[in-house]
Structure 1
């Protein structure tokens, strides 16, 4: 893919941002409140989808473009787009009071597929922090290796044995070995003798040419007929719409598989692969895949090279400008300031006081002069406009009085949904204006290699040089002003008084800092690396297995909106769960700029039946953003840091290291045990140990801290609903996989274990997906690994897989019954969010109870 293509893609994304800003974000007239929630939801969901399309283009451009100055602007726009998507998600949540949002009907209207609006994980999350992550991984590996070496060096019990016993034991084993070999030889000799006798009795086989030809023809006709029947059957299934046609190799399919499947391929081979999502067979030429991967790697190398050249150019261009333009700029500033001295002396009779650095120095002088000139030009206009202002004030007063009277009548008209103010729209607007002024109409016909633009560097560095020179000029001119005052004025007390006043101002600033109380540092003398090492040795920091979110496969639910229209609340699909985890965990934690302004979600709970992939999602979050994993599961910290002081020290160390080496994930397994009414006597892990401490620490987590607490629970209904929902602000409920997701899981897992060509026409995946109703992804994974052993994988060419082979391992597992899933639904209905949702569905005001409670509290006060 060429530079022109990515530039064109960038311009298309900027055009989409500009349309969104003009239509919805920065309209000429303020939008009217929308009373109909369905219309409001469709409007917000449409904006969400459009922002997602822009996000996909910008992410691709930022990863593949090599121009360093363009990449900086794209990164600024990319962070703003991610933040706006998260804000749109928050708006959808407030409208429907549901974590999962369904807009399959909107996708149909916009002629889009779920793959078009899938949220990609920005690759710069890991690439830009690759060095830090490698160093941290080395540190963790070295600590774990030292621990293993210490465990291996423990003294083992020595087995005492006399020399006679040892010789006797060796003789017994050697005689047994020789006896086994002799038995095998004798068996082979007997079998060979029997074969010789039978061959002598039968004689040598005689077969004429006609018989041999007949046998060959028989075998070939049977083989060709079977192949023809299979081809006719496949054509019939395609004609009936029960199967998809075979698609030959194309470049875009090679690129798609190169991203989705991380399989190392050689250039000289041709691999039979299948597209996991669509289910179509693809015969790919490996050279396309290899070429695409090589181009991507080459672009990444070019990015690093151009970045180094750009950083070097910043210093060299600045030095040249300081040498060539610096002296002229300095003389101009001094002349302007001297002129100001003379003008103020002629006007007031004395020299002025020079502004301090806090006030802006000479820059404040020129701003005042410009403001005075503007006021002088508008004096005449101001006099004419005074009468009009008075009239306007009277009219406003009348309108205000009318407004007070009609407040009760207008409340119903003004009530409705309005988009909340955004923290990222100004960022998007600034970036779009910068793009329009700099890059939209810029001629780059000369810059074919897409290297940095020197003129843009000069424009930016001139501002920096001017600011640096201004500080030097201010120091010189202050001394010059003092000398002038000493030469003309004899009274020196006035300057001292001014200094005293300035000291008083500084004292007032010091008082403001006393309001915020700093947290006590229990480990002031210890470094972060020392604390990290201790937590690793104690088993609190755990090495997270590398799991990509793409490995959590599933399909989109296309009937969610249809079910809701018929009054049935649909269960989320695996695709929805992946999207929610991406929005709540991965996208905010991957970027510091996004996390500081996006809706803050410091804690989250993933719940669902066993085997649905809750821990896999946790591992995917840590892998995609390169986060540290702290394990505060009650069973893991039971015997560590005893007592209240020990617990405070443990939590202090965990969150101190987590904040310093962000991003970090604090994992709490079986989190429902902390809020159980009665802990079983058999449980000796003391799960209620962190019950009081965790909510307090949760309040200290601010948007600038990229630390998230993630709890995992398989039985949330055993705990108190109130305490659990206060601790975990968001709940991600993972259901059983539906038919479409099970179909994709079977295909993907079989191909991962058995290879790309392990699925043939003999394997009925549709029947497997139907039979495995109620089984989770963990059950399917166990069944696949148990059937596809190393020996079975080697036999796949001669003996294709069949669906019946997976029935035996599935029958030995207990499925997830519908009653278990209904239990999760009923539990969610008892949560505060579930209660609000049920009131909203029934037509009541979900926030009516909260409003009454607030009014009651005000009345009591």
Structure 2
């Protein structure tokens, strides 16, 4: 199949996964008491996740876009983990490892074969070199220990010369005897044919009788062949015998296998190009955009210094490296939002001081509220509720990335499905910014320290001049 077909299959699988995640979050919020309903829900989710896994595994094996493969691999691992979680929930619910999905399969219009979970092909592909190396090591260990499979050597016993001559004579006499017997048989057959020919000459030849005899033999032979052919066709129709080309590999399968190998080669090629591009694009960004990023970060932090001093009257404390440095201040926020956060934090500090004074008389009310919460939790705890999932968050993250990045992306320019340089630039730009930010933080900490010293010196000088007056 083509790249467009596998992309379409991926989009359809993502739609199914998105709807399944929505349904799962809706149905598993409230505790349930009906065991039949619980099993039906778990089994339905299990079957649908198996279908999604089969499609994702096929897409991951054949798609050649390296950046899409990273996301599909993340989703595939999450779906496999979720299947194991649902299986464990069903085992704990029914106390058996064998479940019956006949009704659910009939409702979903599926056959039991569609519940088979294939071993992902990348398990073998990604570990092929390791497996080959392991086989070499095992073969070497067996050879060194003498336990390897070796050809059995038969010992050659020497015999005397007279006995060897007797063996040769016996073999030669036997050969001559076989030739003499064959010659005598040929003589006998010649004599027999001549005798039969003399007997036929003596009979009166009848052309009509001879033709009838030939026709009879031919019709019998023809009908025998026809009967055999009809019997073979009947057995094939009944399914008792395989068709004539059953053991032969069709040309379509040979072509499909050839295309699969070609796609594997293209996958490896695109993956190598993608890894090389990660390094080259980052180096280019460092040379071209690195100085501008550094200058913008310094200007942004300086404005923060000035605005904070204008609002509070003092310079702010620079965040420590352990806290994240300046990244914690400007993470997904504009300068105006940072200023509003500073004002809000100051107001909260004042409110906290007032609340501490008023907290003492309210302890009795809090005790009653705790008791009411415990009673509510007891009432809710009577029903069954699914244990928290480790893999749902992973699948939701991957699904959100797909919606934001790949769902409506125009890829008409990328027919061979190579890497997308713009996506690499976005990721490497963030990585480069975090590296440059560490350097800028060191410089701006020193600059902030110098500013504070300068302001304190000015205050001391102004205080001295005021006292002299």
Question: 1:133 matched to which residue of 2?
Answer: 131
1:174 aligns with 2:144: no
Q: CA deviation at 1:359?
A: 2.3
C-alpha separation between the residues in 2 aligned to 1:395 and 1:487? 52
Question: 1:336 matched to which residue of 2?
Answer: 300
Question: 2:386 matched to which residue of 1?
Answer: 419
Question: 2:461 matched to which residue of 1?
Answer: none
More helix by share: 2
- Equivalent of residue 81 in structure 1, options 56, 79, 104: 79
Question: Mapping of 1:175-190 within 5 angstroms?
Answer: 175-190=169-184
The structure number with the bigger radius of gyration is 2
Indicate conservation of the 8 Å contact 1:341/1:352, yes or no.
no
C-alpha separation between the residues in 2 aligned to 1:109 and 1:245? 35
Answer with 425-434 or 122-131: which moved more.
122-131
Q: CA deviation at 1:68?
A: 0.9
Question: 1:467 matched to which residue of 2?
Answer: 434
Question: 2:42 matched to which residue of 1?
Answer: 44
- Equivalent of residue 371 in structure 2, options 401, 421, 433: 401
SS in 2 for 1:273: coil
- Equivalent of residue 355 in structure 1, options 278, 298, 320: 320
Q: CA deviation at 1:120?
A: 1.5
Question: 2:416 matched to which residue of 1?
Answer: 449
- Equivalent of residue 443 in structure 2, options 457, 472, 476: 476
C-alpha separation between the residues in 2 aligned to 1:320 and 1:337? 26
Give CA-to-partner distance per residue, 1:92-112, whole Å, 9 cap, x none: 111121122221232122111
Q: 1:365 to 1:223 in 2, by over 3 A?
A: closer
Give CA-to-partner distance per residue, 1:125-176, whole Å, 9 cap, x none: 1112223333333333344344559998xxx9997x6xxx531332232233
Q: CA deviation at 1:319?
A: 1.9
C-alpha separation between the residues in 2 aligned to 1:360 and 1:193? 109
C-alpha separation between the residues in 1 aligned to 2:223 and 2:9? 55
1:122 aligns with 2:120: yes
C-alpha separation between the residues in 1 aligned to 2:402 and 2:149? 60
Q: CA deviation at 1:379?
A: 9.4
Question: Mapping of 1:207-356 within 5 angstroms?
Answer: 208-228=210-230, 231=233, 272-273=245-246, 286-342=250-306, 347=312, 349=314, 352=317, 355-356=320-321
- Equivalent of residue 32 in structure 1, options 30, 33, 50: 30
Q: 1:402 to 1:333 in 2, by over 3 A?
A: closer
Q: 1:458 to 1:271 in 2, by over 3 A?
A: farther
C-alpha separation between the residues in 2 aligned to 1:338 and 1:195? 119
Q: 1:465 to 1:78 in 2, by over 3 A?
A: same
Question: Mapping of 1:749-764 within 5 angstroms?
Answer: none
Question: 2:466 matched to which residue of 1?
Answer: none
Indicate conservation of the 8 Å contact 1:354/1:478, yes or no.
no
Q: 1:351 to 1:442 in 2, by over 3 A?
A: closer
Indicate conservation of the 8 Å contact 1:62/1:71, yes or no.
yes
Q: CA deviation at 1:374?
A: 3.6
C-alpha separation between the residues in 2 aligned to 1:406 and 1:434? 38
Answer with 30-39 or 323-332: which moved more.
30-39
Question: 1:202 matched to which residue of 2?
Answer: 196
* Matched residue count: 437
Q: CA deviation at 1:433?
A: 0.2
C-alpha separation between the residues in 1 aligned to 2:345 and 2:439? 35
Q: CA deviation at 1:73?
A: 0.6
Q: 1:112 to 1:334 in 2, by over 3 A?
A: same
Q: CA deviation at 1:121?
A: 1.3
Question: 1:635 matched to which residue of 2?
Answer: none
More strand by share: 1
C-alpha separation between the residues in 2 aligned to 1:394 and 1:50? 51
Indicate conservation of the 8 Å contact 2:3/2:63, yes or no.
yes
Question: 2:22 matched to which residue of 1?
Answer: 22
Q: 1:121 to 1:335 in 2, by over 3 A?
A: same
User: Normalising by structure 2, what TM-score?
Assistant: 0.80
SS in 2 for 1:203: helix
User: Normalising by structure 1, what TM-score?
Assistant: 0.45
C-alpha separation between the residues in 2 aligned to 1:337 and 1:470? 11
Q: 1:149 to 1:80 in 2, by over 3 A?
A: closer
Q: CA deviation at 1:180?
A: 2.9
Question: 2:463 matched to which residue of 1?
Answer: none
C-alpha separation between the residues in 1 aligned to 2:217 and 2:99? 64
